Amino acid sequence: MYTIGCQMNELDSELALAALDEDGIRPVESAAEADVLLVNTCSVREKAEEKAYSWLGRMKALKRVNPDLIIGVLGCMAQKEGELIFRRAPYVDIVAGTAHFTRVDDYVRQVRATGKRILAIGRDEQVQTEKRLKARATPQSSFVAVMRGCDHHCTYCVVPNTRGMEQSRELEEIVEECRILVGEGTQEITLLGQNIDSYGKRLRPRRRSLAELLYAVADVPGLKRLRFVTSHPSDLRPELFQAFKDLPNLMPYLHFPAQSGSNEVLKRMRRGYTHERYLELVAAARDAVPDIGLAGDTIVGFCGETEEDFERTIELHEKTRYQASFIFMYSERDFTPAKDQGLIDDVPFDVKKRRINHLIHLQRQWSTEENLKKIGKVYEVFGEGPSKRNPGRQEGRSPQNQVVIVESGRDLAGKCYSVRIDRATDAALYGTLE
């Protein structure tokens, strides 16, 4: 299984693997050993789709050697491209969209029995995407989807097309799933939703809110750390800040994308807030939770973005001082409001490139400055185990979700320990075990 895309996709891959596990189909080390090859795809930027197609291109050779090999494409690009994938890559056997990936075990069986390819991208069927089964990749830390889809119409974004309208899961069902996970050894849960602040708004007979959900999940005995992503500045409710104050296991971290700092661009993106409003919310969050870690997403080079617009984005970054920031060049997508309404992708590639490099450069300086202020402080770290590049080092996360690295030969995965910070870069904190 090769997973491209966001955390929701990582979770979906786990759920698909769990379904296959019931049929005795288990992950193997390399593609060459596999009987079933799957890619879980993303459509958010053109590059993500190119990645999937180039992976498919490489897998084609394996199919020539082993004609029984089954190749499947799951997720957002499967949903968006459908039939087109068979045309571009005729050796693909399964195309299963965002409501069908947990049926992949059935599809594999059908392909084996009939030799016919399968296209499953209908939206009408309700499928149980969350049947939580055994095989979990990282038992100490788990994702739980609380909703799927999105009701916003941010003009650049393909997600409402690939994942459909927002559908929240029942609160009790989510809490039960969290209880089971903690019972199996999970210590940290990250609740996932494309626009998690609007959780529960359509549930009946009673609407629910994200705050209500957080109080209920935080109460699961044995849960050490609770997180949630992603927040939308137009839907964030102040009662959330109270939840951070009340719940010791709710971690002080907010993924809070601004996308742009220019009011003109924000309007064209249809984000529903202004530069000023965004900064007000940041101030309110910091007021309520002074040590909160803020992460943002920013798109540079959106349709019609001028140098002045870009300056406003720089200003917003400078004032917000994100702990982490994900910056992207605008990538025009089919089936987005921008494309449908004829907004023109008119910022030349080299201008986008210059702007992104400039902003990344500045952001690195600001992140370094902020991180240097943390030297001498002690953080409670949740261990993720040895660093991939250097096994003599242990990596973990601070409550604010920052990477914290210590020199230690002991495997600290799943452990909580205190670290005094003595060094920092833009991307990580380094320290010694207390």
Residues near ligand SAH, by CB under 6 A: 44-45, 156-157, 159, 194-195, 230, 232, 257, 259, 297, 299, 328, 330-331, 333
Alpha carbon distance, N-terminus to C-terminus of the chain: 39
Which does residue 59 touch among ligand F3S, ligand SF4, ligand SAH, none (CB within 5 to 8 A, set by kind)? Answer: none
Find the part of the chain contacting ligand F3S (CB under 6 A) among 1-9, 248-256, 284-292, 414-422: 1-9
Nearer to ligand F3S, 163 or 317 (CB): 163
Q: Which two tokens stand for residue 263?
A: 């009011």
**What is the 8-class DSSP label of residue 417?**
E
Residue ranges in 218-257 that form contacts with ligand SF4 under rule CB under 6 A: 232
Which does residue 330 touch among ligand SAH, ligand F3S, ligand SF4, none (CB within 5 to 8 A, set by kind)? Answer: ligand SAH
Nearest residue to ligand SAH on Cβ basis:
297
Residue ranges in 4-43 that form contacts with ligand F3S under rule CB under 6 A: 5-6, 8-9, 42-43
Residue 328, SS3 per DSSP: strand
Q: How far is the CB of 308 from ligand SF4 (least distance, A)?
A: 24
Binding of ligand SF4 by 159 (CB under 6 A): yes
Which does residue 160 touch among ligand SAH, ligand SF4, ligand F3S, none (CB within 5 to 8 A, set by kind)? Answer: ligand SF4
Q: How far is the CB of 225 from ligand F3S (least distance, A)?
A: 23
Output Rg (C-alpha) for the chain, integer angstroms.
22
Q: How far is the CB of 74 from ligand F3S (least distance, A)?
A: 10
Rounded CA-CA distance 161/340 in Å is 12
Q: What angle do CA 426, 430, 432 make, to 5 degrees?
A: 165
Beta bridge partners of 36: 70
Which does residue 317 touch among ligand SF4, ligand F3S, ligand SAH, none (CB within 5 to 8 A, set by kind)? Answer: none
Rounded CA-CA distance 40/30 in Å is 16
Rounded CA-CA distance 93/83 in Å is 11
Instruction: State which of residues 162, 168, 190, 367 lies at the interface with ligand F3S (CB under 6 A).
Output: 162
Please, are residues 107 and 94 in contact by the beta-carbon 8 Å criterion? Answer: yes
Q: How far is the CB of 199 from ligand SF4 (least distance, A)?
A: 13
Please, are residues 4 and 42 in contact by the beta-carbon 8 Å criterion? Answer: yes
Which does residue 297 touch among ligand F3S, ligand SF4, ligand SAH, none (CB within 5 to 8 A, set by kind)? Answer: ligand SAH
The secondary element (H helix, E strand) that includes residue 59 is helix 46-65
Which does residue 269 touch among ligand SAH, ligand F3S, ligand SF4, none (CB within 5 to 8 A, set by kind)? Answer: none
Which does residue 169 touch among ligand F3S, ligand SF4, ligand SAH, none (CB within 5 to 8 A, set by kind)? Answer: none
Q: How far is the CB of 320 from ligand SF4 (least distance, A)?
A: 18
Per DSSP (E only), the strands in 264-347 are: 293-300, 324-329
Please, are residues 95 and 76 in contact by the beta-carbon 8 Å criterion? Answer: no
Which does residue 42 touch among ligand F3S, ligand SF4, ligand SAH, none (CB within 5 to 8 A, set by kind)? Answer: ligand F3S
Binding of ligand F3S by 331 (CB under 6 A): no
Residues contacting 365, CB < 8 A, separation 6+: 426
Rounded CA-CA distance 45/29 in Å is 28
DSSP 73-100: EEEHHHHHHTTHHHHH-TT--EEE-TTT
Q: What angle do CA 71, 163, 345 make, to 5 degrees?
A: 95
Q: How far is the CB of 354 from ligand F3S (least distance, A)?
A: 25
Binding of ligand F3S by 129 (CB under 6 A): no
**Cβ contacts of 273-277, under 8 Å, gap ≥ 24:** 273/233, 273/234, 275/312, 275/315, 275/316, 277/233
Write the binding mask 36 to 75 for ligand F3S: x where contact by CB under 6 A, - elsewhere. Answer: ------xxx------------------------------x
Site of interaction with ligand SF4 (CB under 6 A): 150, 152, 154, 157, 159-160, 194-195, 232
